[in-house]
Amino acid sequence: MKTISVKTEGGHYQILIGHGIIGQLGRKCKGLKLGRQVVIVADESVGKLYAESISKVLVSEGFEVTTVISLGGENNKNLDGLEPIYGHLITSGVDRTGWILALGGGIIGDMAGFVAASYLRGIRYIHVPTTIVAQVDSSIGGKTGVNHSLGKNLIGAFYQPQLVFMDTDLLRSLPEGEIKAGLAEVVKHALIRDPELFEFLEIEIENVIKMQITPSQLDWLIERNAKIKVEIVSTDERESGLRAILNYGHTIGHAIEATTNYKKYRHGEAVILGALAVAHISASRGLMSARERLRHDSLWERLGIPKGLKDVDSREIFLRTRNDKKRVDGVVRYILAEAVGKVSIYDDVSEKNVIDAIRYVKETY
Ligand SMILES: NC(=O)c1ccc[n+]([C@@H]2O[C@H](COP(=O)([O-])OP(=O)(O)OC[C@H]3O[C@@H](n4cnc5c(N)ncnc54)[C@H](O)[C@@H]3O)[C@@H](O)[C@H]2O)c1
């Protein structure tokens, strides 16, 4: 089992990574001196697959476990969706020593983490992330929260878990679409920070998509990505500088998701389109060589280009980019790639740059 220690202003905790380690979860939780009462929060699919076995592992260490099943999906990630979770905690008499185990992908992690941050003004929680998105991205960094009808992730809190426990075997039940969506964040990490990881993906990406890699290779992949996220969020917990580079491909990606009402594309799919668009901006400014752009675009293409952008209005996507949550003093900042492993932040990307780039992606794919 590999351990990554995370130190942020908001707290210190460990990320444990390995395959076939779920049986050790109870013992690790016991070591954290958590209270006896624990509530597992999962969505229907993950609940069916893993809640019972995880509950047994915790019960065998003397924990008192109940499970609450939350509706999955982005449409349920809102304040109303939290109501049954708060209700379960209240009716089960969970007090301040009780804790939450968030079992699932990014949606359950964000929701259960926010409940932990707010129930009785804060109880402890741990993450057992079950998607690639959650293992390499959302379970690390302490961002919790839900959507509002006027925008995504607008309500939330920075709230660090006590432990993030990643059994990579759990990823093997993921449908291919979710694997690809998660790999979009992996390709992003490689591109912004890790040329060696990029080279690995250039050789292996189809095998990763099919999960035809060994347990040790999968552990390596998750650990490498988790370390990149940890390194960035530990330096910049509240997103004042470096953390912005994690937004690569996301400004246009989020705008595409919003323009299509979060129904047409998974988040990761929209990021693929966003990454191809920003590479066009980089190349047209002469920031990225033709060779590097070819490497960039080819790897994203191998993840599969989602269809249907042609039917989405380019100007509306542009207008939505102006609502980017990460703008500074009203200016939308773009992360542009100069080469594999090297990106910079630009605050002078024009309307024409963005619309041309979206049109390029529509015409090319
Ligand atoms: N907090 C953060 O820093 C952060 C970062 C990135 C993304 N996010 C959020 O994460 C969310 C997306 O997360 P996601 O992509 O994990 O989606 P998700 O949580 O909806 O999971 C995707 C689907 O996979 C299923 N699933 C999960 N684990 C499974 C498994 N092991 N086997 C089979 N099926 C499984 C789920 O039931 C769901 O249907 C978004 O809401 C996004 O805003 C948050």
Domain boundaries in the chain?
2-173, 176-364
User: Can you give the pLDDT of all 365 residues of the chain as single tens digits?
Assistant: 999 999 988 889 999 999 999 999 999 999 999 999 999 999 999 999 999 999 999 999 999 999 999 998 988 999 999 999 999 999 999 999 999 999 999 999 999 999 999 999 999 999 999 999 999 999 999 999 999 887 788 899 999 999 999 999 999 999 999 999 999 999 999 999 999 999 999 999 999 999 999 999 999 999 999 999 999 888 876 666 788 899 999 999 999 999 998 889 989 999 999 999 999 999 999 999 999 999 999 999 999 999 999 999 999 999 999 987 777 778 899 999 999 999 999 999 999 999 999 999 999 99
pLDDT at residue number 237? 66
Active-site residue set: 121, 143, 185, 229, 239, 243, 247, 250, 254, 267
What pLDDT sits at residue 306?
A: 93
With a 6 Å cutoff on the Cβ, whether 141 touches ligand 1 is: yes
Contacts of 307 (CB under 8 A, 6+ apart): none
Which pLDDT does position 21 carry in this prediction?
Answer: 98
272 lines ligand 1 (CB under 6 A): no
pLDDT, position 240: 65
229-266 per-residue burial string, b: 16 or more CB within 10 A, e: under 16: bbebbbebbebeeebbbbbbbbbbbbbbbbbbebebbb
Of 279, 269, 248, 349, give the one whose Cα is nearest residue 312. Answer: 269
d(CA 221, CA 41): 26
Separation of alpha carbons 130 and 135, rounded Å: 7
* Distance in angstroms (rounded) separating the CA atoms of residues 179 and 173: 10
* Shortest-distance atom of ligand 1 to CA 185: 6
Encoded tokens for 72: 């999955």
Q: Would you state the structure tokens that stand for residue 178, as one six-digit string? A: 């979710």
Please answer whether residues 268 and 183 qualify as being in contact, where contact means their C-beta atoms are separated by less than 8 angstroms. Answer: yes
Do the beta carbons of residue 253 and residue 306 sit within 8 Å? no
Q: How far apart are CA 30 and CA 54, in angstroms?
A: 14
Q: How far is ligand 1, taken at its centre, from the CA of residue 243, in Å?
A: 21
CATH of domain 2-173: 3.40.50.1970
**Predicted pLDDT of residue 328:** 79
- Please tell me the pTM assigned to this model: 0.94
Q: Is 107 in the pocket of ligand 1 (CB under 6 A)?
A: yes
DSSP assignment, residue 365? -
What is residue 9's predicted lDDT score, i.e. its pLDDT?
Answer: 82
Cα(133) to ligand 1 centroid in Å equals 6
The closest-lying atom of ligand 1 relative to the alpha carbon of residue 171 is 31
Strand pairing class (124-129; 163-167): parallel
Closest C-alpha residue for ligand 1 atom 5: 138
Closest CA to 185 of 216, 240, 228: 228
Mutate to test the pocket of ligand 1, among 70, 154, 178, 262 (most ligand atoms within 8 A of CB): 178
Rg (the chain; Cα; Å): 20
| CATH superfamily, region 176-364 | Dehydroquinate synthase-like - alpha domain (1.20.1090.10)
